[in-house]
Structure 1
Amino acid sequence: MANARAIPVSLHDPQEPARQDPDWKAFLDLGFRPLYIAGCAWAAVSILIWIFAPQWLSGPLHGVAWHAHEMLWGFVATIAIGFLLTASATWTGFNPLKGIPLAMACVLWMVARAGYLAGSVPAFYVAAAAESLLFLLSAVVLLKVMLKGKSKRNYGVPFLVLGLGLANCLFLHSARAGDYLILMQHFELGLICMAVIALLVARRVVPFFAMRAIPGLSIPMLTRSGQVQLVLSVTAIALGLAGQPVVMAAALAVTGLISLYQTIRWKPQAVIHKPILWILYLGYAAMGVGLLFAAGHLAGWGTGVLQRSAVYVHLIGMAGFSILIIGMVTRTALGHLGRPLQLDRSMVVSYWLVIFAVVLRLAALAPTAAMQALLHASATAWSLAFALYLWRFVPMLIRPRL
């Protein structure tokens, strides 16, 4: 989809001033700086542990439970919180978390990651407490600035973050009890809760980014369909809690269809030559497809490999969240750092590596002789993608805005 010849070689403006020194105060000025680094680094490392060193995963949170937890709450939710802490400062005019409090939030995040890996019961409880505090802190500071800035359209965001934290507590409780069936139900609840946040944010920023990047492009914000989408997705969560999978499936199906309708209305043909945009369109559309597959699974449709929950989980989690994330951590970081909104070849390569990893992982769901090789190749491509992001962006994220 991208025209490589049209991609600038450098992210740096020719008129850019001399290279600045790293600055601790600037690093802790907005939530995206440390949390983008933390989330992307953990994305690269945790998947390597899961695929190449699963023997390290013992204790109360082990095996596939650890992998599912760390992908959703350790990686995706971390990036989401980093984005929301930063975006809310723009929405309200008040920075919700910076300096020492932001540093302490990052310490809570690190304690959680280390505690779950340690393998002991006390470490598990310490990690769970630290992680719960992080979600609670994030929700409280977000609510505070929303109220202070009278950002009424965003009053629900802190409660979605709180819901994500609650789903995490339920998941951890099930993991400690050893109840795999209930554990996966709570994981699915957290996945849908995260999808609500992702859809809410992306529906607002994707058309805005597109119109800013392409002169003369006019696309609708689709506020009304977004409101219906939000109501239906929140209803789906409530139905899931109430144990009504069939009705929940109907709500998810309509939510997914609305996502695809919105993507088409945003004139995707106009952004094919802009990798920094089409990556966001692709992730948003993939989220819609994933929700449709989730609906089909809950309704009992499909045969063979399509009956597995892993299909829609990876469609939403990898094809949806992760493709959106690699685009968002690029676009929003450049914007907030005062950099030109242009990509170098390394970042376009990272986009294709994430897409390649998604395709390989979905192919590995089929029970074939190549399954193990596909898993290894997917994990390698995935980790290389986020390593490329860190290599390119960490030097900028630890320095003051231009």
Structure 2
Amino acid sequence: MTKARAIPVSLHEPGEPLPRGPRLEAFLELGFRPLYIAGCAWALLSVALWIYAPQWLSAPLSGVAWHAHEMLWGFVATIAVGFLLTASATWTGVNPLKGLPLAAACLLWLVARIGYLAGGNIAFYVAAAAETAFFLLSALALLRVMFKGKSKRNYGIPFLVLGLGIANCLYLRASLSGNYMVLMQHFETGLICMAVIALLVARRVIPFFAMRAIPGLAIPMLTRSGQAQMVLGILAIVLGLAGQKAPMALALAATGLVGLYQIANWKPQAVLRKPILWILYLGYAAMGLGLLLAAAHVAGFGSAAFARAAVHVHVIGMAGFSVLIIGMVTRTALGHLGRPLQLDQSMVASYWLMLLAVVLRLAALVPSSAMQPLLHASAAAWVAAFILYLWRFAPLLIRPRL
């Protein structure tokens, strides 16, 4: 892909000062403000802990179990909830969470992160209860505004968020038993549930963002294929819970192929010079590819290397979710903060750092003497990407919209 030229502009108008100072009411105005900061900060901290200080992770949720949990439910799902709480206000005209209720949701999230790190059974149960309450509160808030705003096409979204919470409960229970096979089954359920949410949301917003950014560009919304994709994704979850591996693999493969079909019809050649768009295209395409690899894993196809769960998990989780996230938390924050939809050099740098982290992490999956150095280099690029994002956006997210 051709490297795009960064536009050296500020995130506010030339000569215009930032609002005088941070304001709590602005910070708690919409879900994306605190949850984007929390999710991105936790993304860099949790990876730094996992790679550079794993000895700080204490049972009962420790090691790979802690890392997988915090990446999916502590990072990816947090950003997704922040986006949905914000987008639903636009879809329905009703803000689902703001002020003290939003602060309560963020406090529950924080208690969960601290509890899992603290170790010990009491802290674990407190963290599990807080995290369950976080997903339940978010799902109920979304359900309330969907019905109040009569947003029928979005009625399923609160139940997908609730599904994320249920999969999280099952995962936490399995972590106490020490049964790795059961643990990974519940992780796969959560991963696919998150993938269905990501595909559903991204399929709607990517064409809209592209047509708004490029005058004259016409992109089909592909509503029918999107509906089929959602049904197939949910079917894959149900079949997985029922232990039907072969049909589940077919449903996963079909979901991934639909995603690749959609991205091919969104005229990707038109966005090559728009980093704020091509980063979303790349993430969406990686999601489709990752679901195909997941199907191969479930069906038992492929070589020994590609049959490992770590391959499709990292393709979906890093190349898919994380690449989409670094693009979405930039684009949606600019839009909701009333800023020009243009990037400065630090933001484009964060995109390239994220892509570098993905490439290095996938390379580290190949058994070799370079695995450890590649892993450390990937973590460093990952941390740098989110430091750049927080450095640029945190001051804006805590201040009023222009």
TM-score range, shorter chain: over 0.9
Q: Secondary structure at the match of 1:220?
A: coil
Alignment match, 1:292: 292
Q: Point out the more displaced range, 15-24 or 227-236.
A: 15-24
**Residue identity matched to 2:280:** L
Cα-Cα RMSD: 1.0
Mind listing any 5+ residue stretches in structure 2 that lack a counterpart?
A: none
Aligned to 1:74: 74
Maintained 8 Å contact 1:96/1:145: yes
Say if 1:350 and 1:384, in contact at 8 Å, map to a contact too.
yes
2:211 aligned partner:
211
Q: Which whole-Å deviations, capped at 9, do the CAs of 1:298-327 have from their partners, x for residues lacking one? A: 111111211210000000000000000000
Q: In the TM superposition, what is the alpha-carbon distance from 1:17 to its structure 2 partner?
A: 5.1
Whether contact under 8 Å (2:31, 2:82) holds in the other structure is yes
Provide the residue aligned with 1:85 in structure 2: 85
- The correspondence of residues 1-400 of structure 1 with structure 2, limited to 5 A, is 1=1, 3-5=3-5, 7-14=7-14, 16=16, 19-400=19-400
Shift of 1:11: 2.2
Change (3 A) 1:310 1:5: closer
What displacement does 1:18 show?
A: 5.1
Cα pair 1:20 1:400 within 8 Å, conserved: no
* Residues 1:18 and 1:325: Cα distance change in structure 2 (over 3 Å): closer
**Separation of aligned partners in 2, 1:363 and 1:393:** 30
Change (3 A) 1:18 1:306: closer
Q: Deviations over 1:18-62 (max 9, x none)?
A: 543111100000000000000000000000100111111121101
Per mean C-alpha deviation after superposition, the further-off stretch among 67-76 and 12-21 is 12-21
Size of the aligned set, in residue pairs, is: 402
Deviations 1:207-247 (A, max 9, x none): 00000000000000000000000000000000000001111
Q: Is the 8 A contact 1:22 1:399 kept in 2?
A: yes
SS in 1 for 2:338: coil
Output the amino acid matched with 1:381. Answer: A
Check conservation: 1:2, 1:275, Cα contact below 8 A: no
Q: Percent identity?
A: 76
Moved more, 93-102 or 16-25: 16-25
Deviation at 1:128, TM superposition (A): 0.1
CA distance in 2, matches of 1:11, 1:2: 24
TM-score by length of 2: 0.99
Equivalent residue of 1:305, what SS? Answer: coil
Contact 1:2 1:274 in 2 (8 A): no
Alpha-carbon distance in structure 2 between the residues aligned to 1:306 and 1:156:
33
Tell me the distance in 2 between the aligned counterparts of 1:20 and 1:153.
40
Give, in angstroms, the shift of residue 16 of structure 1.
3.6
Paired amino acid for 1:270: A
Consecutive unaligned residues in structure 1, runs of 5 or more: none
1:69-93 superposed Cα distances (whole Å, 9 cap, x missing partner): 0000000000000000000000000
Q: How many angstroms does 1:13 deviate by?
A: 2.0
Cα distance in structure 1, aligned partners of 2:190 and 2:46: 19
